[in-house]
Structure 1
Amino acid sequence: MPDEYDAIRKRLTRYERGLYFELGRARERGETRDNGWVPQFEIKTSEGTRILDSARTDGRGTEGVERKSGRVNERDTYFQLFKERAALESGQLTRSRWETVVGEKIPDKVRRQLEGLARDFPGRFHHEVVSRADALRAIQLGRSLASKQLELIRPYELDRADRARKRLDKIRETVRVRDTAIERDSPTRETAQRQTRELAESADHALTIERADAAAREQREAAEQTRARKAAEAAARRQQQEAAQRVAEAARKDREAARNGNNPPMTGREAADILIVNRPTPGLPPPLREPPSPRRSARGRDARERDRGVERER
């Protein structure tokens, strides 16, 4: 029966479900950048590239975490666990933890893989099943964190800029009053001019500070946008790599089926994977293609030669 966890996931896209669950669980477990954790960490194994949801260095190896907020896809997860076993055997992965949610379907084949890894690598591989209440709390927390990350200007920075503007307005008003006093009382002109110059210098200093704050904010915004773009590109590349692996595996099975006299139809998933593989790779410029040069066919040349022969006979 659908519960509150199902309801909140239904209102989110597939990307948002995984992102918010990952952000919330990582924050609850202290897996932050300050503690050495980075998202979408890539390691090269003997069986191919493995991209971990979150990881940090652990001695000469890596400690990694993989989280599944919903139903576990059998084909994708098979390749992930296959590479993970190779990384554990080589020592590239010193420890690994997989998190799934109570009630979300795990195919029997994947479940046996998880149990086999936990049995073969005791103390290094752990499968943790998260309660639906904890998973709901993680998604709510992750959504809040994602929203706050979009607020790039911190409150104290806004307050500081507001104070600088108020100081500048006050200095400008003082200068205006001094200018009026100069016009009204000429004997004090020299003193007033000196004070005016000092106030103008203070105003210029305040304006310089304000501009420096604005420039710093722009740099932070640009850096955050770059990080967000790179994270999105890494996720898209990961999706494309996994789609390519699925396409290759499907092609191998089709060849085996053809040798046995079968011709299985293409599934919707395989068609979608082919479209994903054929997309431009995120982060790389699209290949340049020169327009085709006009060519003349042999048939056209023969026809033109016959026409010229007829003309000569005439």
Structure 2
Amino acid sequence: MSGDGYDRDREPYDNNARGRIWENGSDRYFRDCENGYSKPSREQELPTPGEARRYDKQRGDPRKGPVRAIEDKSGAIDGNKDHSQLKRDYDLIRDGKVDHLLLRSVEGETISRTAQHLIQDLQRDFPEKFTHQIISRSDAREIWARGLEREPSPQLELPGVGEQARQQKAKQREARQQEREREREDRSREREPTDQTRTREDERDKGKPPAVAKERAGPTAQTKDVREREEAQARAMVESLGLNLSKEQREQVQTILREGRENQRKDPVREIEAGRGQQPPAPPATPHRTPEQERENARAIAKEAGLSPEITGILGLNTNNPHPTIDIDQARLHAESEAARMKNATRERERARKERERNSRYRGD
């Protein structure tokens, strides 16, 4: 790493993203696709002892004859995987399965001593079938910028998501803890001593109100309190998203979230309520619409309000089985990473545009 502009361009991205951006950029820069090269399918991998060899770009089908291949390296060539690939490359060329291999690497990037020896062996033994192309760092920046142009446009999420995420997570933990405590209390009451059960039966025989009615009113009130807090949290969450929704539209989105919460605890609540001879309260439904119609309507509302696919997924609006809770931490992390990527991509596209204009002026276009 030299710490120059090329290194800074690649720094915000992980290895998978770096490989994808570099392959797409080199395809545009060198017109690989126009020259007949494409990403090989799994069926087109070349068999070698041990692991099969799959090149970044390939022309031809190994099932029909030898192929021509391209391997793009945007960074160092120094790991065991790189060494293993170069050894398999030698075998494939020697055995006539690869007619020509083009290895591209970037000037100044590390090449281990082992990799250097393997590359030298390929150049010495197959001078007509192996080419090592070293790309200047200035050209590498141009390739990187072109690769960024093919990255999907990031969706910036909502402001203030970080603080809202912490508050929502804390409230969800509190609600779950209260629910667990309520269930423990119910299970404990179900295992009461036999003499207390006999006392209740005697009270019923005398026509007196059983003490259990008063005793069990507490958990029922707790259940109601939990649901009321969840409703308040859902309302606050929908409002905090900054969407331009009418009162009816907000209520419809909250209905979807409510269905998710109730579906999650439907079975345990039904078991607890069955022990009391009661049926659990059904979640309120919007009149004249089935739950599927409600979710379809909520998806349309989210689309009109400008919700990104990521947020609609977090809200549970992309499926007929909505999420029971909103994972705002996921939205926050997505927003931060995508905002950084969009900022870098915008900067690189602008740099590439200015450089193309400058080159055009030099050429007198």
TM-score for both structures, normalised by structure 2 = 0.38
- Greater length-normalized contact order (CA 8 Å, ≥ 6 residues apart): 2
TM-score for both structures, normalised by structure 1 = 0.44
